[in-house]
A = this chain, B = another copy of it.
């Protein structure tokens, strides 16, 4: 009883969809019909439908009606926190291996869309937990004169934070590519695992709103214990 009217309407329609009384592709009752059925104004019904559209249950076709969606089976929410430890957490540390300005490799130049003659900032870090390496992290950013490079800041910054000094995080597109590979010599040294160990690889590409690259990086997570979690559900 306490719930607002529009929530009751939302629940009613969700229930019909979950009970498979309404199925994907079916049209649902028109807004005016729902007004009569629930004795509410049209704006209230529209608020309900907006919620259902938002949650992915239905979609609207102007001039025709509202239809039940095909459930999206291939979009998940991935939680990825870049494993930046809290600077105050004694168990977690960051080992800053290298901060440099150099010319890009082919791979770096390709991903940052810059010519071979343009310098890039390189940052290599190892994240430690209870003195054990848990991630090896390499990041590249186009070099501009005047970038402040402060060791303390670099150690405890996420990638978006590093570039956010010039770009708003709201105006940033982040793309991840998740792969698997084997540890080579360099990585096995830093992560203290045998050569040939399995690694989870996360490539991170930062783009501005014009889809121009502003940063590219790779994180290596050792062993079978490291895992990413993702989830999909309808509320």
Closest to A177 in B: B227
Out of B14, B73, B227, name the residue touching A179 (CB < 8 Å): B227
Task: Give me 13 other A-B pairs in contact (C-beta within 8 A), A73-B160, A76-B78 excluded.
Answer: A14-B170, A17-B170, A57-B170, A75-B79, A171-B234, A174-B232, A177-B228, A177-B229, A178-B200, A178-B230, A179-B200, A179-B227, A180-B221
Q: How far is the CB of A205 from chain B (nearest CB, A)?
A: 10
Contact with B along A1-17 (1 / 0, CB 8 A): 00000000000001001
A74 within 8 A of B: yes
Cβ–Cβ < 8 Å partners of A176 in chain B: 76, 228-231
Check A173 for interface membership: any CB of B closer than 8 A. Answer: yes
By a CB distance below 8 angstroms, the chain B residues around A74 are: 79-82
- Expressed in whole angstroms, the Cα–Cα distance for A196 and B180 within the complex equals 12
Q: Is the CB of B198 within 8 A of A180?
A: yes
Complex: A79 Cα to B226 Cα, angstroms: 20
A181-B224, A226-B179, A227-B179 in contact; A170/B75 too (CB < 8 A)?
no
Q: Report B-chain residues with C-beta under 8 Å of the C-beta of A81.
A: 73-74
**Interface members, chain A 48-85 (any B CB < 8 Å):** 50, 54, 57, 71, 73-82
Whether A173 touches B233, Cβ cut-off 8 Å, given contacts A78-B77, A81-B74, is yes
**CB atoms of B71 and A76 under 8 A apart:** no
B residues near A188, Cβ cutoff 8 Å: none
In the complex, 24 of the A-B residue pairs with CB atoms within 8 angstroms, ordered by the A residue number, are: A17-B168, A18-B171, A50-B50, A54-B54, A57-B170, A73-B81, A73-B82, A75-B79, A76-B77, A76-B79, A77-B78, A78-B78, A80-B230, A174-B231, A175-B231, A176-B229, A178-B200, A178-B229, A178-B230, A179-B227, A181-B198, A181-B224, A182-B196, A198-B199
Closest chain B residue, CB of each to CB of A68: B170
Give the 10 A-B residue pairs with the shortest CB-CB distance, closest first. A78-B78, A173-B233, A71-B169, A176-B230, A180-B200, A180-B180, A76-B78, A180-B198, A178-B228, A74-B81
A199 CA to B197 CA, complexed, in Å: 11
Bound form: Cα–Cα A79–B158 in Å: 23
Shortest CB-to-CB span from A31 to chain B, Å, is: 16
Interface flag for A172 (CB, 8 Å): yes
